[in-house]
Chains A and B, each alone.
Chain A
């Protein structure tokens, strides 16, 4: 089964990190990504630009309504994701626990519906 691992963190806190911690965080992420690619679990993964760059789109009565900012104001914001292949939720949780961001924010583990056939 595929799981989407959504990485949430407080953007303000992440932005305020000192350069040294930021560098070691980046190194940890590269190391982690390499390990799940080698393990065959990696399907996709990206870091997202901050929510200040986000737009939210709705279509109402056929009209496109675009607003500035994320869909909802929350304490932690979506900052990146991995799409992984795992045997079951235990394996997905184990992978999520190794994501460097899990130490600062939180990881939501969401099973993905298999594609419709």
Chain B
């Protein structure tokens, strides 16, 4: 009895250990198999078969010294077997893969960390290739690089699993049919493509950060995956200010996630947040990255500037201590680098903290007069706030009502409605 129990317990431990290895190595194994086999679906099947074989063989023979290389080698052999069985493929594909087979040692030799890193970087550049649609970028990255299940990716996009599966199938077919390469671009093209990749990573993050529908768990998961991708890029890419800049920006935002929404699901503005809920270790990491980003010479990156603004916000222990003067300056830099109505609006809000509501109102009115953003709810909400501060309550109420008319997200609507109620209280004679 006791011996059986012992064996069972040790089997269980072994199994848990093997599963832990699978979890840790899944991404690397897939990325390398895609390179070796040149096909996403074939690589996924091969990885699955390698995992199944490992569960059987490692239980008796023990875990090999380099499990990752074992899984890649086994996966590749399984794929070759599969192709041999499949007469349709027999002609061309086999010749290509078997060409690599003549040097079996090469796979094991490649099983050092550097080449795995390279394979995952290749995979990111393939998934974020500009010849694919924006929707496909995020979905493929989450599925193939982060290893999320199709179901989890579907939940993040609020579409059915079937729809997402179709989208992934189409994207993988496009990669194959259009000849989208599985490689990290060479320097002149690399700098151009990095921006697309970073935009996808930031898109994953904002999808998780701004999403107000769907389960909270998925939201946090997306932010976590985006940060993980940011860390990977920061580790693998040559010095480029945008990479640590983006990673810092995500960490500094994510550090405030718990303080951003109340227990009842209402939005809490930065100035009203409980600063003790902010995540100190994420803030510390973010601040170090901001410093590193600014120590890299070259073109200033909008991500790094935004991260510097976020850093100034989190560095003040009380809201009164915020260095608004410097924040105004950074927004002016950002406006030169990447002019946009949203940044103009944020700049105006910062100006209101330094020079008062009157000047800020002028800035917002001139932005509104240019007419591109007349339906942007936050523009009207900002006008409402400045007018309220100036005591022009009736105009303030009108502006808040306009904001409510254009807002679509429930927590934002509730927030604007509470502002209107606040103005109404000041307007009422009692």
Contact = CB atoms under 8 A, between A and B. Distances in A.
Contacts of A90: 180-181, 185, 189
Q: Is the interface of B mostly helix, strand, loop or mixed?
A: loop
A89 B125 CA distance: 13
A89 B180 CA distance: 5
A73 B131 CA distance: 26
B179 interface: yes
A97 to B, nearest CB: 11
A109 B177 CA distance: 12
A88 B131 contact: no
Interface in B169-204: 177-181, 185, 189
A93 interface: yes
Nearest to B175: A89
A109 B129 CA distance: 14
Contacts of B91: 117
> Size class of A's contact patch?
10 to 19
Interface string A1-20: 10100000000000000000
Which bracket fits the contact residues of B?
Answer: 10 to 19
A92 B178 CA distance: 10
Interface in B74-121: 91
A111 B177 contact: yes
A92 B91 CA distance: 26
Contacts of B177: 111
Nearest to A110: B178
Given A87-B179, A92-B179, A93-B131, 13 more contacts: A1-B179, A86-B179, A87-B181, A88-B179, A88-B181, A89-B131, A89-B178, A89-B179, A89-B180, A90-B181, A90-B185, A109-B178, A111-B177
Interface of B: 91, 129, 131, 177-181, 185, 189
Interface of A: 1, 3, 86-90, 92-93, 109, 111, 117
16 contacts: A1-B179, A86-B179, A87-B179, A87-B181, A89-B131, A89-B180, A89-B181, A90-B180, A90-B181, A90-B185, A90-B189, A93-B131, A109-B178, A111-B178, A111-B179, A117-B91
